[in-house]
Structure formats: structure tokens, C-alpha cells
């Protein structure tokens, strides 16, 4: 049966961003009988033994306790499971000198749902017909933002400015404050810090500037901290989470080893939290409580923050270094630039003047057994036709050390061929009558 879909039905069943590419990747892996691929496309974290053990131990403790029945056999409050809320309040107050109360916290089934609630509660058409924008101040950013707005027209991303170190083949995106507009028609602002896909960490000053621009219009700023400290602590440069009246600090336990349990945490002003909580009640009543109960234990004991800083962070930081050093050694003399690896679990490579598209490069890399993600999917909401969006790829740091090294060497060879072929073609077209 082919059901007739509404406008929204069509919108929500459309494969956006990386989901469209993932379909191609799954088909490639399935049909590539006999061919071994180094798959560096995943956003799925690896299972680290210490992390798995932590969650196993917390589960065993929960199973052995009288709390178990209360957790899984009963409904609870929309806002979240009280012991987890209390654990977050205590941890953040102590760690960052805050004075949060339980009313400042909302637990959601994964942080993706949090962005969905916020994008539609604050962005879209108001009762008077004004379109409130969901502003992404620095594009590229998380591909998942492309699917959260029920009113697609509301999603609005801004081109960044680029800090380029030509000699070292490195670069960094920065918000372009000469272009960025936050005004009366802004519903909310959203960005990831550290950033998926680039590994960028916006500086405190940059964040404060965005927050101040938004505060002038009472606009909430959602800081997607899926990779930030204190857990999973996937920052490789110093950074402190920032809090404030119009900041919604949004966390996820997915990269701290719990993606299957779907836990997102929002910390912010009581009134903002209440809006999101109502949205959640209508959508799904509340998040599952089993994951919340084990998370409460891991946070209260201090084990989660400890494992994040001492196991998860160094593990991915080392992978990032392998990508960097291999590219430094193997890349040909072409204008390539790696984004500064300041966090997250990805490397982001920009190939300036790339003679083919990112999609064609992705296909060429598949031919040599390497799968990455073409960068074009990471510019949701960007309306400019900017060639840069077709010159980048995202490399996931989830391969083994050896696989990452081999893949980067193969990538270097393919890149050399692509630029050389283009130079030959250009010469021939000059010579041809």
C-alpha cells in the first residue's frame, strides 16, 4: 500500500543529508562481495572496553537493587527520572559553580529529539504569520539539523570565514560576524561545539558574542554539546561549557558509550525547559528510564567524567593525530587543508579547487576500498551556491590505527590522480584547435 502523505509527511520521510548517503554506503558494503572496505563514514562511536564495562557494572547494580521495578515497570515524569536529574544538578553545580535546580533540567530520548522540539517550538510560523528563523551561525554543521524543522524555510545557515595556514595545510572556520544576522525574526540559534563534522571548537569569545546578539532579542541559543566536557569530553583543546539566561546547554550520552539508550540532557532557564518539556509530553510522554537510571549511577560515582577524560578523549585524539601525520607525509602538492582537530570524532578535509565534486571523489575513493562521507551533506540551511561545499569530505576517526593510515595513503594517491588528470585535460584543451 502506498499511503497518501501530507506536506509534513513528505517532508519527514525525505532522506536528508547523511541519511541519503548512508543508504548508498550500506548498498556498497552489501554488494561489494569479497571487496574489503575501510569504512570511515560512521558517526557511531566504537565500543571501548572500559566504557562498556562501566555501563555493564551500572546495569548490574541496577538489576541488583530494589529500584529496578520502579524504573522499568512504571511511567514517570515527563521531565526525566529524578535520580538522573539530581545527579546532573549536583555534578554541574559542583563542577562549574552553578546554582541549578531540578527545574533547569530536561531529559530527552537522545539529543536529536531536543533539537526537534526546539526547532519547532521556537522556529517556524508564529500565530501572526511571521517566519521565525532557526539560525545556524556557522556552516558546515551537524547534518541532523537538516531534518529537525517541520518548516524547512525556517532553517537558515551562514557561510563562515576561513582562517587558512597555507604552509601547514591547516584551516579553521570562524563565524562571519559581518554577515551573521540575529534579529526580531530569529526563533533560536543552534550550533555544535565541538562541531560534527569539522572538529571545530568555537572560542568562548565567539560564543559570547553570538549569545549577546541573541539575548538582545530574547532568543534562545542551543549549544549542542554532544562532544563537549564533562562527558564525553571529546575536546582536544581547552574549552569550558558556557551557561547563561538564554543558553540551552544540550548534552548527549551517545558519544559516552550510550547511543543505544537514547539520552539527551538540556540544561537551561526554567521557562525554556518548560516549553521543551510540554513538547516532549505530547510527543512521547517521557524518555525510557532504564538508561537514565544507569546514567545517574555513572555520573554520581564520578566514573563517567573520569572515563571520558582518561579513556574516550585520548583514544580519539590519537586517531586524529594518525590522520594528520599520515596526510602530512603522503599528500601531494595540491591545495589541501585539514580542519584544526579541536574535538569530536571526525577529521574534515578541504581540497581547494578540487577538479571533481565531493560526490565524485567519494565514488573514486570507494574504488580503492575507502569510504568517507562527501562534505556536501553538512551544510543544512545554507542557501549560497558556494563551491567550497563540494570540496570537502568527512573522515570518521572510528577505524583502527592501521586502517586510518592505509586509508589516508590511498586517499593521497587518488587526490594526486584527480588533480593531475585535470591538469592534463586543461593542457589538451589549450592545444586542441
Q: What angle, 0 to 180 degrees and rounded to 10, lies between the N-to-C axes of helices 270-284 and 111-122?
A: 110
112 counts as binding ligand PLP under rule CB under 6 A: yes
Distance CA 354, CA 360 (A): 10
Q: Which of 17, 43, 220, 241 binds ligand PLP (CB under 6 A)?
A: 43
144 counts as binding ligand PLP under rule CB under 6 A: yes
Q: How far is the CB of 257 from ligand PLP (least distance, A)?
A: 12
Q: Pick the closer one to ligand PLP by CB: 143 or 326.
A: 143
347 counts as binding ligand PLP under rule CB under 6 A: no
Residues in the chain: 433
Q: Which of 39, 41, 111, 200 binds ligand PLP (CB under 6 A)?
A: 111
* Angle formed at CA 16 by CA 12 and CA 20, multiple of 5 degrees: 125
CA proximity to 326, closest of 203, 419, 214, 411: 411
Q: Which of 196, 200, 280, 347 binds ligand PLP (CB under 6 A)?
A: 196
Cis check: omega of the bond before 232, within 30 degrees of 0: yes
Name residues whose C-beta falls within 8 Å of residue 176's C-beta, 6 or more positions apart in sequence: 158, 159, 160, 161
241 counts as binding ligand PLP under rule CB under 6 A: no
200 counts as binding ligand PLP under rule CB under 6 A: no
Stretch that binds ligand PLP, among 252-260, 390-398, 407-415, 423-431 (CB under 6 A): 252-260
Size of the site for ligand PLP (CB under 6 A): 14
Stretch that binds ligand PLP, among 106-114, 120-128, 179-187, 305-313 (CB under 6 A): 106-114
Q: How far is the CB of 17 from ligand PLP (least distance, A)?
A: 11
Q: Which of 254, 287, 376, 377 binds ligand PLP (CB under 6 A)?
A: 254
Check if the beta carbon of residue 321 is closer than 8 Å to that of residue 236.
Answer: no
Q: Which of 17, 80, 83, 110 binds ligand PLP (CB under 6 A)?
A: 110
- In the shown chain, the binding pattern of residues 264 to 303 toward ligand PLP, with x for contact by CB under 6 A and - for none, equals x---------------------------------------
Q: Which of 122, 142, 279, 316 binds ligand PLP (CB under 6 A)?
A: 142
Distance CA 149, CA 159 (A): 20
Q: Which of 224, 261, 277, 358 binds ligand PLP (CB under 6 A)?
A: 224
Distance CA 372, CA 348 (A): 10
Distance CA 256, CA 103 (A): 24
Q: Pick the closer one to ligand PLP by CB: 26 or 424.
A: 26
261 counts as binding ligand PLP under rule CB under 6 A: no
Alpha helices in 301-392 (DSSP H): 303-307, 313-330, 358-367
In DSSP notation, 209-227 reads HHHHHHHTTT--EEEE-TT
Q: How far is the CB of 99 from ligand PLP (least distance, A)?
A: 26
Distance CA 123, CA 131 (A): 7
Distance CA 7, CA 78 (A): 29
259 counts as binding ligand PLP under rule CB under 6 A: yes
Q: How far is the CB of 116 from ligand PLP (least distance, A)?
A: 10
Beta strands in 84-154 (DSSP E): 105-108, 124-125, 131-136
Distance CA 192, CA 187 (A): 17
Q: Pick the closer one to ligand PLP by CB: 112 or 326.
A: 112
Q: Which residues bind ligand PLP (CB under 6 A)?
A: 43, 110-112, 142, 144, 192, 196, 224, 226, 252, 254, 259, 264
Amino acid at each position: 500500500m502506498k499511503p497518501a502523505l501530507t506536506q509534513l509527511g513528505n517532508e519527514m520521510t525525505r532522506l536528508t543529508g547523511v541519511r541519503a548517503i548512508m543508504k548508498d554506503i550500506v548498498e556498497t558494503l552489501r554488494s561489494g562481495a569479497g571487496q574489503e572496505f575501510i569504512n570511515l563514514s560512521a558517526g557511531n562511536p566504537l565500543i571501548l572496553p572500559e566504557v562498556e564495562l562501566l555501563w555493564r557494572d551500572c546495569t548490574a547494580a541496577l538489576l541488583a537493587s530494589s529500584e529496578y521495578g520502579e524504573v522499568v515497570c512504571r511511567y514517570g515524569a515527563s521531565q526525566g527520572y529524578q535520580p538522573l536529574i539530581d545527579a546532573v544538578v549536583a555534578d554541574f553545580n559542583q563542577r562549574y559553580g552553578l546554582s541549578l535546580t531540578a527545574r533547569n533540567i530536561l531529559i530527552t530520548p537522545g539529543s536529536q529529539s531536543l533539537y526537534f522540539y526546539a526547532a519547532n517550538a521556537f522556529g517556524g510560523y508564529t500565530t501572526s504569520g511571521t517566519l521565525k528563523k532557526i539560525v545556524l551561525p556557522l556552516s558546515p554543521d551537524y547534518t541532523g539539523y537538516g531534518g529537525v524543522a517541520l518548516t524547512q524555510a525556517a532553517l537558515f545557515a551562514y557561510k563562515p570565514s576561513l582562517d587558512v595556514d597555507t604552509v601547514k595545510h591547516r584551516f579553521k572556520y570562524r563565524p562571519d560576524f559581518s554577515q551573521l544576522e540575529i534579529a526580531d525574526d530569529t526563533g533560536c540559534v543552534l550550533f555544535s561545539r565541538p562541531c560534527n563534522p569539522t572538529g571545530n571548537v568555537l572560542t568562548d569569545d565567539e560564543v559570547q558574542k553570538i549569545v549577546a546578539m541573541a539575548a538582545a532579542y530574547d532568543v534562545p541559543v542551543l549549544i549542542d554539546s554532544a562532544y563537549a566536557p564533562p562527558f564525553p569530553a571529546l575536546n582536544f583543546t581547552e574549552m569550558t561549557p558556557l551557561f547563561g539566561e538564554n543558553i540551552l546547554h544540550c548534552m548527549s550520552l551517545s558519544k559516552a558509550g550510550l547511543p543505544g539508550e537514547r539520552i539527551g540532557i538540556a540544561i537551561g532557564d526554567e521557562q525554556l525547559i518548560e516549553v521543551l518539556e510540554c513538547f516532549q509530553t505530547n510527543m512521547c510522554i517521557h524518555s525510557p528510564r532504564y538508561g537514565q537510571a544507569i546514567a545517574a549511577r555513572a555520573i554520581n560515582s564520578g566514573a563517567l567524567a573520569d572515563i571520558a577524560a582518561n579513556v574516550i578523549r585520548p583514544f580519539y585524539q590519537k586517531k586524529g593525530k594518525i590522520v594528520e601525520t599520515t596526510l602530512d607525509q603522503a599528500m601531494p602538492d595540491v591545495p589541501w587543508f585539514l580542519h584544526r582537530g579541536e574535538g569530536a570524532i571526525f577529521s574534515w578535509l578541504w581540497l581547494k579547487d578540487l577538479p571533481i565534486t565531493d560526490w565524485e571523489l567519494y565514488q573514486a575513493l570507494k574504488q580503492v576500498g575507502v569510504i568517507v562521507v562527501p562534505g556536501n551533506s553538512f551544510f543544512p540551511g545554507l542557501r549560497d551556491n558556494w563551491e567550497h561545499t563540494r570540496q570537502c569530505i568527512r573522515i570518521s576517526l572510528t577505524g583502527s590505527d592501521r586502517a586510518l593510515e592505509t586509508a589516508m595513503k590511498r586517499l593521497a594517491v587518488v587526490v594526486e590522480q584527480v588533480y593531475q588528470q585535470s591538469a592534463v585535460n586543461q593542457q589538451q584543451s589549450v592545444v586542441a584547435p
